[in-house]
Amino acid sequence: MNRSRRLRTSLACAAAATVLLPLAACSSGGSSSGGSQAGGAFTFWDPYPQYDSSSVWEQTVKACGNTAGVEVKRTAMDTGDIANKTLLAAQQGNSPDIVLVDNPVVSTLAQAGVLTTTADLGLETDRIQQNILDAGTVDGKSYGVPIGANTLALYYNADVLTAAGVDPAGVKDWASLTAALEKVKAAGKKGITFSGIKTEEGSFQFLPWFWGAGADLKKLDSPQAVAALSLWKDWLDKGYAPKSVITNTQTTAWQEFDTGDFAFVENGTWQLANAAKAKFRTGVITLPAQNGGAAPAPTGGEFVTVPVQKDDSRYTASQKIVNCLISQENLLNTDATLSYVAPVQAVQQQQAASNAELTPWVAAVGAARGRTSGGLGTDYPVVSEQMWTAVQSALSGARSPQDALAAAQKAAAAKSGH
C-alpha cells in the first residue's frame, strides 16, 4: 500500500475536520512542546502533563523502552493540542514513534493516513473488549489499542438518600430514579447535578440518557432522543436538577456534589479519589437505561497509536513498547497510574478483586460504547456539536426538546450526510 501518497493527500482535509474533544476524563494541565525524533531516541507523546518525571506513569514508559532496547523520549502536552500537532508532524515528515490520543481522535488520524493499523504491526487485539476497541476502529480496521477505559456512572450521597428514605439499590430505571429525586427534594435536599455545558463534555454526559432510551446518533430527532432530552428538561422544571447544569463542566458538577447537598452526580472514574475524601458517605451505581439495565455510557480514555514512519525498521521497537504498555501487569496497574479500568476482561476482574470500589465501574465499562462507533467516524464531532446545541436550547427553554432536536438533525445532516 502507498501510505506516503495517501498521507499527503489526506492531511489538509483532516486538519480542517479535526475538532478537539477535551474531557475531564483526561486531566488537563500545562503543556510542554512536542519534538521530533532525536538521534536514536524513540519519541513518545501523551496527553498527561500532570505526570512528571517522578511519576509511576513516566517510569512505566521508560521501562517499556528499556524492554524494547531503546531510549524513550516522552513529551506530554494538553489533550487539546495533541491531535493537531500529530497531523502537523506527519505533514512535516517527523512523526513521533508512538502517540496516545483521546479515542474519538483516532478515526480522524486514521482517515488522514497518519496511523498504522494493528495488523500492520502484528499487534494482537483478541483479548481487548470489543466495545472498547471499537472506538479506534475505522472500516473494520483497528488503528491502535486502548491503554485503559473510563466512563460515567452515578455517584450518590448515602447520607442524603438515607434521610430521604431512598435505597440506591432500588434505582433501576428512569422512573425509579425520578421517584428518588422527588423524595430527596421533599426531604429538603437537592436531587441530581451533571454537566450540560455547550461543549463535548455536555454531549459526553447526555449520551448515556440518549443511548439509554435507544436513540441513534444518526437520527438526533427520533422519539427516543426526544424522550431523553425531555427527561433532563423535566428534572430542571421540577427543581430536581439545578439551572447551573447548563454551564456546568464535569468538574463544577462534582464541586456542587461535594457540598453535600445533592443526592446524585453524574461523573466518572477519575473522581474516585475525590469521593474517598468527601465529608459524607458515597457510593456508585450504573446509569440506568430508560426501561432498566445499564445505559451505554461513552467510553473515555486514550489509545496507544503508532504513526506511519519513513523508516519502517522503527516499527519493531514500537511494537515491543506497545505490547509492554498493554501487558497484563501494566494494565492491572492502570487504575492506580491513570485512574482507568483495564480494557481486558480478565484484568478487570483482578482490579475489582483488589479494589471493590471498581466493581460498578467494571460493569459500566462493559456496557459502554465508543462515540465514533456505529459508522460515524470523523462525522462524530459534527453530530456531537449539534447535539450539545440542542441540549442547551431545550434546557434554557429557548425551544422544546422536539424542536431543538429537529433543528439539530437538520444541521447535522447538512454538514455530515447523516
**Three cell numbers at 228?**
431523553
**How many C-beta atoms lie closer than 10 Å to residue 216's C-beta?**
14
pLDDT of residue 197: 96
Give CA 40 to chain center in angstroms.
Answer: 34
Q: What are the residue ranges of helices labelled H in 220-283? A: 223-237, 250-257, 272-277
Q: End of a domain among 328, 349, 367?
A: 367
Q: Are residues 380 and 360 in the same domain?
A: no
Render pLDDT for 336-357 as a digit per residue (tens, 0 to 9): 778 899 999 999 999 999 988 8
Q: Are residues 12 and 140 in the same domain?
A: yes
Render pLDDT for 123-151 as a digit per residue (tens, 0 to 9): 989 999 999 999 999 989 999 999 999 99
Q: Which residues contact 259 (CB under 8 A, 6 or more apart)?
A: none
**Three cell numbers at 229?**
432530552
**Three cell numbers at 9?**
493527500
**DSSP letter assigned to residue 134:** G
Q: Are residues 273 and 382 in the same domain?
A: yes
Domain of 272 in residue numbering reads as 152-297+376-416
Q: Are residues 124 and 168 in the same domain?
A: no
Facing residues of 307 across strands? Answer: 115
Q: Are residues 315 and 273 in the same domain?
A: no
Q: Are residues 20 and 52 in the same domain?
A: yes
Distance CA 28, CA 140 (A): 32
Q: Are residues 130 and 84 in the same domain?
A: yes
Facing residues of 288 across strands? Answer: 294
Render pLDDT for 255-284 as a digit per residue (tens, 0 to 9): 999 999 999 999 999 999 899 999 999 999
**Closest Cα partner for 279 from 361, 165, 157?**
157
What CATH code is carried by the domain that includes residue 240? Answer: 3.40.190.10
Give CA 220 to chain center in angstroms.
Answer: 20
Q: Are residues 141 and 98 in the same domain?
A: yes
pLDDT along the chain (418 residues), means of 10: 37 38 35 42 94 92 95 91 94 96 92 95 93 92 94 97 98 98 98 96 97 96 98 98 97 97 96 94 97 95 96 95 95 82 94 91 92 84 95 98 98 83
Q: Are residues 141 and 27 in the same domain?
A: yes
**Three cell numbers at 217?**
446518533
pLDDT of residue 31: 33
Domain count, the chain: 2
Q: Which amino acid is at 137?
A: T
Contact 269, 337 (CB under 8 A): no
Q: Which residues contact 386 (CB under 8 A, 6 or more apart)?
A: 220, 408, 409, 411, 412, 415
Render pLDDT for 212-250 as a digit per residue (tens, 0 to 9): 999 999 999 999 999 999 999 999 999 999 999 999 999
Q: Are residues 171 and 27 in the same domain?
A: no
Distance CA 350, CA 343 (A): 12
Q: Are residues 250 and 260 in the same domain?
A: yes
Q: Is the alpha carbon torsion for 286, 288, 289, 293 positive or negative?
A: positive
Q: Are residues 134 and 212 in the same domain?
A: no
